[in-house]
């Protein structure tokens, strides 16, 4: 499953990130298919039909270049969006897929998690920030995917259950839920706008399921202050601002964009611990996995709890280490 819009957000203009063009995305798919093709006589590849027509191109090339059969499922949808990604994941599960390969950044992987796929996911990097993703060679990823699909019972214990940041807010006296895989940011804007967060002065607080000093994004800030790995049963909270005592921290918000943050405090919080996020008196919004998503009314309170109940990820190194 390929998100054609991944890697095309506004950070391509305000930072020095490369545009993830459609031809490059097709190259990623070709590399994946070349690895999967080792098992061509044992695997059926399934792809959702898409507005841009990429699936039809892949279907033809897979047969011609790799001897792979690709079945297209679902109706042609409109241009790519978060809702489209959720729908595609559901279509693939309904078609009987035993492994979902999702190509995109943290935002795309979040949308896949929203679909609650119930089958393992191989999250392949293809966006601006790729903390939740496999960033190695896609040929190897394709080979690992085929290795798993052919003998799932042999490798199931090597799959990795991810953490999820669960949000609940009240709307018309009814709880409304949302989620993030890597980071939640309380920001000053009272609108979603261009979605992406790239100005450090806009960020009031961060809740990070992963705080990695080696991957760009909001989680990079926490990686230099209070690192937390995907394997740890904890998250990191950072209070940001400019008043009172503070610690200066730098973070790579996107490729080519270093930013300076003022950290007023930080704390590690165990999983399954319920927290409250209260909007400032002048309102604000919550950015989920780097994109402003939820606009908050002044003083609104949102409940947050982190649990290890997310997608079951296939990481190629785990599969291939077991295989050999």
Band of residue 222 on the pLDDT scale cut at 50, 70, 90:
very high
- Domain at 11-162+310-323: CATH architecture: 3-Layer(aba) Sandwich (3.40)
The pLDDT of residue 268 is above 90: yes
Report pLDDT for 75: 82
With a cut of 90, say whether residue 140 has pLDDT above it.
yes
- Measured in residues, the chain has a length of 324
Name the pLDDT band for 13 (thresholds 50, 70, 90): low
- Whether the per-residue pLDDT at 96 is higher than 80: the answer is yes
Residue for token pair 């050999």: 324
Please give the backbone phi and psi of residue 84, each rounded to the nearest 5 degrees, phi first. -65, -45
pLDDT at site 1: 58
pLDDT for residue 53: 87
In the chain, where the domains are located = 11-162+310-323, 164-307
CA distance 168 to 176: 6
Fold type of domain 164-307:
Tumour Suppressor Smad4 (2.60.200)
- The mean per-residue pLDDT over the stretch 290-308 comes to 95
Q: Considering the entire predicted model, what is its pTM?
A: 0.91
Whether 4 has a pLDDT exceeding 60, the answer reads no
Which residue, among 218, 221, 205, has the nearest Cα to 285 in the 3D structure?
A: 205
> Does the structure show a pLDDT above 90 at 316?
yes
- Per-residue pLDDT, 35: 98
């Amino acid at each position: 499953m390929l998100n054609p819009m991944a890697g095309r957000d506004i950070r391509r203009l305000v930072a020095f990130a490369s545009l993830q063009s459609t031809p490059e995305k097709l190259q990623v798919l070709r590399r994946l298919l070349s690895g999967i093709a080792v098992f061509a006589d044992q695997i059926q590849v399934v792809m959702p039909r898409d507005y841009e027509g990429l699936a039809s191109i892949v279907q033809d090339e897979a047969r011609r270049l790799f001897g792979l059969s690709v079945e297209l499922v679902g109706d042609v949808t409109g241009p790519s969006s978060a809702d489209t990604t959720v729908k595609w994941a559901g279509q693939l599960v309904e078609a009987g897929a035993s492994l979902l390969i999702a190509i995109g950044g943290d935002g795309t992987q979040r949308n896949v998690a929203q679909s609650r796929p119930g089958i393992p996911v191989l999250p392949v990097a293809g966006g601006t920030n790729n903390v939740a993703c496999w960033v190695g060679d896609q040929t190897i990823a394709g080979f690992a995917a085929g290795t798993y699909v052919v003998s799932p019972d042999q490798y199931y214990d090597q799959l990795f259950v991810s953490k999820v940041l669960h949000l609940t807010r009240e709307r018309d006296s009814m709880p409304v839920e949302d989620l993030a895989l890597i980071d939640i940011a309380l920001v000053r804007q009272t609108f979603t706008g261009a979605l992406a967060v790239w100005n450090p002065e806009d960020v009031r607080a961060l809740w990070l399921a992963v705080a990695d000093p080696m991957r760009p994004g909001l989680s990079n800030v926490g990686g230099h202050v209070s690192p937390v790995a995907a394997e740890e049963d904890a998250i990191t909270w950072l209070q940001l601002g400019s008043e009172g005592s503070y610690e200066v921290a730098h973070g790579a918000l996107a490729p080519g964009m270093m930013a300076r943050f003022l950290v007023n405090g930080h704390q590690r919080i165990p999983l399954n611990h319920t927290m409250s996020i209260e909007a400032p008196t002048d309102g604000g919004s919550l950015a989920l996995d780097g994109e402003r998503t939820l606009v908050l009314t002044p003083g609104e309170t949102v409940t947050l709890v982190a649990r290890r109940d997310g997608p079951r990820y296939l990481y190629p190194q785990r599969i291939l280490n077991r295989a050999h």
